[in-house]
C-alpha cells in the first residue's frame, strides 16, 4: 500500500525536472468547495495537438547510485529515501485519472541497483499501464543513461514522449559535476530514438510508432561556466540533428552545498533570455552567432531580437510594403504571425501604421525599424531607441500575465513571439 509519506518524497524529488513544463499547486479543498489539487506532483504539459494537460509527476525512486553534485537525490545527500513499485505507480495513475486529477503521467527515476534494472522497472510500468490497465493517457518517460538499448526501444513503443536530460552543456562540466555520466551516455540513446522516429516516418508507420510526441531534454543553466552561445549552439544542434521537440533550461538553484558549485543561483532573467533566443532560432531564422554579443552571451538589458537589431541599425528602417519575409521576421515588435499577416495583406493594399496596429504589430517597438508607404515615425537617435526598447523590455519582464494584461503582452507570453 502506497503511503502519503512515500508519495510526498517521490513527488517532491521530481520537482526540479522541468523538461515536461511543470507547475505545482498546493490548494486544498474548503468546506462546501469543489475539487482538490494534490499537494505535490501534478504538473502541466502540452500534447502534440496543443492541449494543456495535467500530469502526475513522480520518481520511481530517489535512492540514487550516482553522485551528481547539483542533485538533491545524489548518493551522498542526507535526504529521506523512498521507492515505489511498477504496480503502485499503475494503481496511483489510474486512481488519479479516475478522480480527474490528471490526464497523464510523467515518470522518472534515480538510478537504483543498476541502469538496466532501473530502465527495466520503468519499462515494466509503462507496458503494464498500456496492456493491463488499458491506460491510453499521455505518458512522458525519462530515459536512464547507460541502460540497454533494447529496454529503451521497448519503452519507447509504449510512451508518448521520452527525454534524456543533458543537464550540463559540455563534457568538461559533466566530468566535474556528474562524473558517472558521459556525453555519449546521454546523446547516443537520443540519436537512436531519433533514428527510430525517422524510420517510422519514412515507412509511414501509423500504429505502434515510437514516441509519437518526440523527445525533449533539459539543461541546467549557471551551475557550470558555459556561455549562452555554447548552450545555444548545443541546442541548435539538438533541434537540427535530432529533431528534438523542446530544449528546456533550468536556472541553477543552490539547493545543495558543494565547493564545485556556485553559491548563488543563475537567476530567472538568464533562463528567460535563453528561451527567447531558442524561439528566435526555431521560428525566426536566427543563428546563434547573430544573437550573442559581448563575451558570447545574450544581452541582459533587452530581448535578443532587439539587441540584434540595435547592433545592426545599418539594415533599418525597412519598408513594410516591400521587405522580404526574412527581414520582417527580424523587426522588433513584428512576431512570426504578424509577419505572415503583413505578407498576405500587402498583396491587396499598401499598408500604413493603422493597418499594422490592427494586425497586433507592436508599433511602439517596430516604429524605430520600419517605414510604411515611406513614412518613418521612429527615433533617429540610437541612444533614444535603446532607452525606449529597454524601458519596454523592463515593463514586459515585470508584468505578470493576468486576465487583464494588454493583448500585446498576453500574445507574446502565450506564443513566445517577440
Which of 267, 277, 194 shows the shortest CA–CA distance to 233? 277
- What CA–CA distance (Å, rounded) separates 271 from 220? 9
Question: Is residue 166 a contact residue for ligand SF4 (CB under 6 A)?
Answer: no
Considering only 7, 10, 40, 74, the residue that binds ligand SF4 (CB under 6 A) is 74
Closer to ligand SF4 by Cβ: residue 169 or 338: 169
Our CB check for ligand SF4 shows the closer of 64 and 363 to be: 64
Our finding on whether 147 is near ligand SF4 (CB under 6 A) is no
Residues with Cβ < 8 Å from 344, sequence gap 6 or more?
A: none
Q: Taking CB under 6 A as the rule, which mask of x and - marks residues 98-127 in contact with ligand SF4?
A: ------------xx----------------
| Residue nearer to ligand SF4 on the CB measure, 113 or 312 | 113
Site for ligand SF4 in 32-61 (CB under 6 A): none
Judged by CB under 6 A, which of 56, 64, 122, 177 binds ligand SF4? 64
- The DSSP bridge partners found for residue 55 are 43, 104
**Contact set for ligand SF4, span 258-317 (CB under 6 A):** none
C-alpha cell at 13: 524529488
H helix count then E strand count, the chain:
16, 9
- For residues 48 and 213, is the Cβ–Cβ distance under 8 A? yes
6: which residues sit within 8 A by CB, 6+ positions away?
82, 83, 84
Cβ-Cβ contacts under 8 Å for 361 (sequence gap 6 or more): 333, 334, 338, 342
Nearest distance in Å: CB 65, ligand SF4 = 7
Selected from 20, 71, 244, 309, the binder of ligand SF4 by CB under 6 A is 71
CA-to-CA distance for 376 and 73, rounded, in angstroms? 58
DSSP collapsed to 3 states, 72-86: CCCCCCCCCCCECCH
The one among 38, 45, 73, 371 contacting ligand SF4 by CB under 6 A: 73
Binding status of residue 68 toward ligand SF4 by CB under 6 A: yes
Binding mask 172-191 for ligand SF4 (x = CB under 6 A): ------x-------------
Give the nearest distance from C-beta 265 to ligand SF4 in angstroms.
Answer: 17
**Chain residues that interact with ligand SF4, rule: CB under 6 A:** 64, 66, 68, 71, 73-74, 110-111, 178
Amino acid at each position: 500500500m502506497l503511503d502519503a509519506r512515500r508519495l510526498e518524497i517521490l513527488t517532491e524529488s521530481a520537482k526540479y525536472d522541468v523538461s515536461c513544463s511543470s507547475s505545482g499547486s498546493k490548494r486544498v479543498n474548503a468546506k462546501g468547495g469543489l475539487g482538490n489539487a494534490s499537494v505535490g506532483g501534478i504538473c502541466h504539459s502540452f500534447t502534440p495537438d496543443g492541449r494543456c494537460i495535467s500530469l502526475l509527476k513522480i520518481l520511481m525512486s530517489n535512492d540514487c547510485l550516482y553522485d551528481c553534485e547539483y542533485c538533491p537525490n545524489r548518493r551522498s545527500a542526507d535526504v529521506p529515501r523512498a521507492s515505489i513499485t511498477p504496480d503502485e505507480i499503475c494503481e496511483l495513475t489510474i486512481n488519479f485519472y479516475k478522480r480527474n486529477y490528471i490526464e497523464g503521467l510523467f515518470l522518472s527515476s534515480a538510478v537504483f541497483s543498476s541502469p538496466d534494472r532501473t530502465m527495466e522497472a520503468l519499462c515494466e510500468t509503462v507496458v503494464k499501464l498500456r496492456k493491463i490497465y488499458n491506460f491510453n493517457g499521455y505518458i512522458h518517460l525519462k530515459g536512464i543513461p547507460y541502460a540497454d538499448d533494447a529496454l529503451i526501444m521497448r519503452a519507447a513503443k509504449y510512451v508518448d514522449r521520452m527525454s534524456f536530460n543533458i543537464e550540463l552543456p559540455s563534457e568538461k562540466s559533466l566530468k566535474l559535476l556528474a562524473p558517472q555520466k558521459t556525453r555519449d551516455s546521454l546523446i547516443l540513446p537520443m540519436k537512436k530514438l531519433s533514428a527510430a522516429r525517422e524510420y517510422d516516418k519514412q515507412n509511414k508507420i501509423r500504429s505502434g510508432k515510437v514516441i509519437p510526441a518526440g523527445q525533449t531534454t533539459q539543461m541546467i543553466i549557471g551551475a557550470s561556466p558555459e556561455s549562452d552561445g555554447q548552450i545555444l549552439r548545443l541546442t541548435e544542434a539538438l533541434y537540427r540533428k535530432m529533431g528534438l521537440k523542446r530544449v528546456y533550461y533550468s536556472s541553477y538553484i543552490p539547493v545543495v552545498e558543494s565547493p564545485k558549485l556556485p553559491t548563488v543561483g543563475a537567476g530567472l532573467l538568464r533562463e528567460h533570455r535563453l528561451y527567447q533566443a531558442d524561439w528566435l532560432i526555431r521560428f525566426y531564422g536566427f543563428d546563434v552567432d547573430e544573437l550573442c554579443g559581448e563575451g558570447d552571451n545574450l544581452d541582459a538589458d533587452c530581448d535578443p531580437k532587439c539587441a540584434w537589431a540595435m547592433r545592426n541599425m545599418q539594415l533599418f528602417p525597412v519598408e513594410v510594403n516591400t521587405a522580404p519575409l526574412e527581414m520582417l521576421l527580424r523587426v522588433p515588435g513584428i512576431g512570426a504571425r504578424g509577419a505572415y499577416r503583413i505578407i498576405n495583406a500587402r498583396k491587396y493594399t499598401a499598408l500604413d501604421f493603422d493597418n499594422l496596429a490592427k494586425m497586433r504589430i507592436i508599433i511602439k517597438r517596430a516604429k524605430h525599424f520600419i517605414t510604411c508607404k515611406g513614412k518613418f515615425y521612429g527615433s533617429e537617435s540610437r541612444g533614444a531607441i535603446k532607452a525606449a526598447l529597454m524601458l519596454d523590455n523592463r515593463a514586459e519582464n515585470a508584468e505578470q500575465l493576468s486576465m487583464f494584461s494588454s493583448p500585446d503582452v498576453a500574445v507574446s507570453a502565450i506564443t513566445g513571439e517577440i
